[in-house]
Amino acid sequence: MTLYEILEVSENASNEIIEKAYKVLAKKYHPDLQPQEKKQEAENKMKQLNEAYSILSDENKRREYDIKLREKRMKDKLENQNTVYSSNAVNQVKYKRTTQNPNISEAEKEKLRKDIEKNMYQQYANIYNEYINNLRYRKKEKLTLKKVKEFFVTIFIMAVIVLVIWFFPPTNKLIMNFYNENFVFRGIIDFIGAIFVAIKNTFIRN
């Protein structure tokens, strides 16, 4: 179980969400609010919550934890894949030795082959399903305010750079020469320009 799962938040959760989740769970599992038979369990839960919050609420500690978490997942994934490949290799050797045994009937050989293929396909299906589930989890992740700010800051910086390059005479001349001499670049720029004009006209009409 990850620290994010302990606090019941997304791995992209903002500091505000993490703090809010911690306060809600700390109130829910506070030992003083639990019956006597559940106090020990609540104390253990509070230790987990405190540890998770102390790391995830600290920017540097959280960054280090995220790196270690990614490394662990990558290692587990590689080990899982290696296990699958090793298992398939062993099954192939087993099948080869079995089929070379003259005392084994064709029906038994065919059954062994089907069992090995079924096992192999199931293992690869598990890897594929894990990959799909990771994609679905990423699609469900909500945009955070920090991400939105970073996006607009990036767009603003790019726009400033483009404007500086365009209005700086030497680079403007260089771009225009390249535009006039390269028909591929000219076609791309004209196409983008046409899209912006179409969007502009659409908004004006509306």
pLDDT at 57 over 90: yes
Tell me the C-alpha distance between 164 and 24, whole Å: 50
Output phi, psi for 35, to 5 deg: -65, 160
Summarised one tens digit per residue, pLDDT across range 2-17 is: 999 999 998 888 999 9
Summarised one tens digit per residue, pLDDT across range 39-52 is: 899 899 999 999 99
pLDDT band at 205 (very low <50, low <70, confident <90, very high): low
> If you search the block for the tokens 């997942």, which residue do you land on?
73
- What is residue 32's DSSP assignment? G
Domain map of the chain by residue range? 3-57, 62-140, 145-205
Summarised one tens digit per residue, pLDDT across range 67-85 is: 888 888 777 776 665 555 5
Helix 59-99 × helix 39-56 angle, to 10°: 110
Report the chain's C-alpha Rg in angstroms. 30
Q: How many CA atoms lie within 13 A of 76 on its CB side?
A: 8
Domain 3-57 CATH class label: mainly alpha
Query: In this structure, are residues 92 and 116 in contact, taking their beta carbons and an 8 Å threshold?
Result: yes
Tell me the C-alpha distance between 96 and 112, whole Å: 10
Exposed/middle/buried for 22, CB within 10 Å: 0-12, 13-18, 19+?
Answer: buried
Dihedral (CA of 40, 41, 44, 49) sign? negative
**Residue 205: strand, helix, or coil:** helix
Q: How many CA atoms lie within 13 A of 77 on its CB side?
A: 12
Tell me the C-alpha distance between 81 and 73, whole Å: 12
pLDDT at 154 over 80: yes
Q: How much is the mean pLDDT over the chain?
A: 76
Tell me the C-alpha distance between 169 and 180, whole Å: 16
